[in-house]
Amino acid sequence: MSFLIDNFVELTVTGLVLGAVYGLVALGYTLVYGVLQLINFAHSEVWMFGSFAAVWVTVALGVAPGSALPIVIGVLLLALLAAMAVSGGVALLLERVAYRRLIRLDAPKLVALISAIGASFALAEFMGLRDRIADFFGLRDTLDPYVRSARDNTRFQNPLQTEGVFTVGGYTVSNVDIIIIVSAILMMVALDQFIRRTRTGRGIRAVAQDSEAAALMGVNRNRIIRATFLVGGIMAGAAALLYLMRFGVTRWNAGFLLGVKAFTAAVLGGIGNIRGALLGGFVLGLAENYGSALIGSEWRDVVAFLLLVVILLFRPTGLLGESLGRARA
C-alpha cells in the first residue's frame, strides 16, 4: 500500500499511457463486433504488423534521437502512415481471406471464430519466419537490418528524445506520455465523429443496427464491412506507433497478450461502443498498475482479468453498454 501511495502519480500516468494503447486497439474489436457480432481475434496480429512497419521505416530512414525537430516529426509521421497503411492492408486481407466467404454463406459464428483464431496463428508465425523467408529468396544480405533475430525482440529507436515537461507528485511527466494520451483521445474523437457524421459512418451504424433493413435502404453491406475492417486496422496501426514510442520493443507474438487485454478493454467499456473502448482501456491500464503495486507485478495480468469478471458480474453490458447501432447522431 505504501508503494502505491508513494508512486501514485507515476502509476496513474503510466496506466493512462498503457490504457490509451489498449483503447485504440480495442476500437478494432468493438467496430467489427458492432457490425458483425464477430470477435476478430486476429486483430492483435493486425496491430503487430503495424508495429513492424513502424520499426522498418525508422530503420530505413536512420534518424538518430536528438535530430532537428522538423526531421523527427517527419520521420514519426512517415512511420505512422506506414503503420496505419500496413495494419489497414492486413485487416482488409484478413477480411477477404478469413471472413468474407463465411459471411456470405451466413456461417455460424463459431466457424468464424475458429477462422479468426487460425488466421491469428498464421499471421504471427508468418512474421516469426520472416528471416527464413528472406534466406529462401536470397535476400538476407539486403534485408538483414529488417529480419535479424526474428524470434527475438525487435527494438524501435524513437527519433523523439524523451524529455520531462512538468513534475507532479515527484514524477516527471514526459513529452512522450503527453503525446500518447492526447493522441489517443483525439483519434477516438475523430473516429466517433466519423461514425456519427459521415455517409460511411452512418452506413456502419445502419448495418450494425439492422443489416437487412440497411440493404433495403440501399446500403452496400459488403462495402461497409470492408470499411469497418479498414478503419479498425488504421486505429491499430496508430496504436502500434504510440506503443513503440513508449515501450520501444515488439516481436512476432507481441500481439497475443496485448490483443487479449484490448479485447478485455472493449468488453469493460461495452463491446460495440466506441467511446466505451477508450474508457475501458484507461480503466484497465489504471487497474493493472494499481493492482501490481498492491500485490506484485507478477499478478498484473490476473488483476486485469479479475476486473473483467467483476464488471461482467455486476454490469454484463460493460461500463457504457450502448451498442454501435444505437449510437446517437
Provide the residue-wise pLDDT of the chain in tens; the chain has 329 residues.
556 666 888 899 999 999 999 999 999 999 999 898 888 999 999 999 999 999 989 888 888 777 888 999 999 999 999 999 999 999 999 999 999 999 888 888 889 999 999 999 999 988 877 666 656 555 555 554 554 554 567 788 889 988 998 888 888 999 999 999 999 999 999 999 999 999 999 999 999 888 888 888 888 999 999 999 999 999 999 999 999 999 988 988 888 889 989 999 999 988 888 889 999 999 999 999 888 888 877 888 888 788 878 888 888 888 887 666 555 44
Distance CA 154, CA 52 (A): 8
Question: Whole-prediction pTM value?
Answer: 0.90
pLDDT value of position 2: 59
pLDDT value of position 190: 94
pLDDT value of position 262: 93
Q: Which residues contact 60 (CB under 8 A, 6 or more apart)?
A: none
**CA torsion angle for 312, 184, 256, 122 (degrees, to 10)?**
120
CA nearest to 124, candidates 258, 260, 248, 256: 256
pLDDT value of position 3: 60
pLDDT value of position 329: 42
Domain 2-152+171-314 has CATH 1.10.3470: yes
Helix, strand, coil fractions of the chain, as percent rounded to 5: 75, 5, 20
- Going from N- to C-terminal start, the domains of the chain cover 2-152+171-314
pLDDT value of position 23: 95
Q: Is the dihedral of CA 172, 275, 258, 290 positive or negative?
A: positive
Cα-to-chain-centroid distance, residue 23? 7
Distance CA 290, CA 16 (A): 11
